[in-house]
Structure 1
Amino acid sequence: MRREDLPAPETGILLTHFLTVADVARSRAFYRDVLGGEVVLEENPCMIKLANGWLIMNPGGGPTPDKPDVTLRTPDDPSTTSSFLNIRVADIQACYREWSAKGAEFLTPPIDRKAELRCYMRDPDGYLIEVGQSTGLLQGVLADPPAGGG
């Protein structure tokens, strides 16, 4: 394992995303085999280098001394979320075809939202993942406002 493969900056900050997972091996396989991530550390915690970022995964659990009132768990309601991964790609149609062939389950095919083409999929624990390709945004065209955002 090389230092540059780890989310450990020598200066400044670096953003990673932690996922609470039910089955580390299953999630590791999804992010490696479907999305093309590089496994940096197998477990405890699992670390995956994905494009220019890292995912850190571990099973859920109860409070610890540094988070005394927090319990980690996987999503329990797939129709409600407060955050999601957002993956930006150069060719959304190619990603949609490739990742679908590898087992990714998308909610819809890519949809044109004026500023971008976008679709969503879920990982094995039900985490929502947005896949988007900037299109109109590159020419200053903004997306339609969110539903109910008036």
Structure 2
Amino acid sequence: MEQTPFPTDDMALTTILVVSDMDASKKFYTQVLGADIYREYGGTSCVLQFLGNWILLVTSGGPTKDKPTTSFQPPSNPDEVSHAFTIRVKDCMACYETLKSRGAEFLTPPVAWGSEIRGFFRDPDGHLFEISQA
């Protein structure tokens, strides 16, 4: 039996983020980050396009037949991170000012670390984002 190649050029990776308030999250992702809404369905899911990637926002949910022991929940403690996004930028301070003016709340202003400048902010549920200038 011949195996199907994996991955192929017609595949795409989507990141799923569980959110507690869909309206607040859509506002953050579209108005603060500048993502585009691709599709919404059921009031519980919103597909976004951002920097050539797919982000799927979903509300909390319990186990299903295809994930019988797994529940989707937003982060319970934003200070304990197991997943984060890094956005590479040409001018960290300029991006910081733009995002801050749109409502992003940074943990601190960007910090210079020798060859890198970076700053961190969160979405309404605590998902962590980094802007980084190398």
Short-chain TM bin: 0.7 to 0.9
Supply the distance in 2 between the matched residues of 1:41 and 1:89 (Cα, whole angstroms): 27
Q: Distance in 1 between matches of 2:40 and 2:115?
A: 38
Give unmatched runs, 5+ long, in structure 1: 1-9, 135-150
Letter in 1 for 2:123: D
Which residue in the other structure is 1:55 paired with?
55
Report the TM-score when normalising by structure 2.
0.86
Query: In 2, Cα distance between the equivalents of 1:73 and 1:25?
Result: 17
- What residue number does 2:16 align with? 18
Distance in 2 between residues matched to 1:36 and 1:83, nearest whole Å: 21
Rounded to whole Å, the distance in 2 between the matches of 1:93 and 1:82 is: 26
Alpha-carbon distance in structure 2 between the residues aligned to 1:37 and 1:90: 19
After TM superposition, the structure 1 = structure 2 runs for residues 91-110 of structure 1, keeping only pairs within 5 Å, are 91-110=91-110
Specify the code of the residue in structure 2 equivalent to 1:39.
I
Q: Distance in 2 between matches of 1:13 and 1:42?
A: 21
Partner in structure 1 of residue 4 of structure 2: none
Q: How far off is 1:11 after superposition?
A: 3.0
1:1-150 mapped onto 2 (5 Å cutoff): 11-44=9-42, 45-134=45-134
Q: Is the 8 A contact 2:14 2:56 kept in 1?
A: yes
Q: Secondary structure at the match of 2:55?
A: strand
Q: Structure 1 residue 43: deviation in Å?
A: 3.7
Q: Which has the higher strand share?
A: 2
CA distance in 2, matches of 1:67, 1:75: 19
Runs of 4+ in 1 over 6 A off after TM superposition: none
Q: CA deviation at 1:78?
A: 1.9
Aligned residue pairs: how many? 126
Deviation at 1:12, TM superposition (A): 4.4
Q: Is the 8 A contact 1:43 1:58 kept in 2?
A: no
SS, match of residue 46 in structure 1: strand
RMSD of aligned residue pairs (Cα, Å): 1.7
Higher relative contact order at CA 8 Å, sep ≥6: structure 1 or structure 2? 2
| Residue identity in the other structure for 2:128 | L
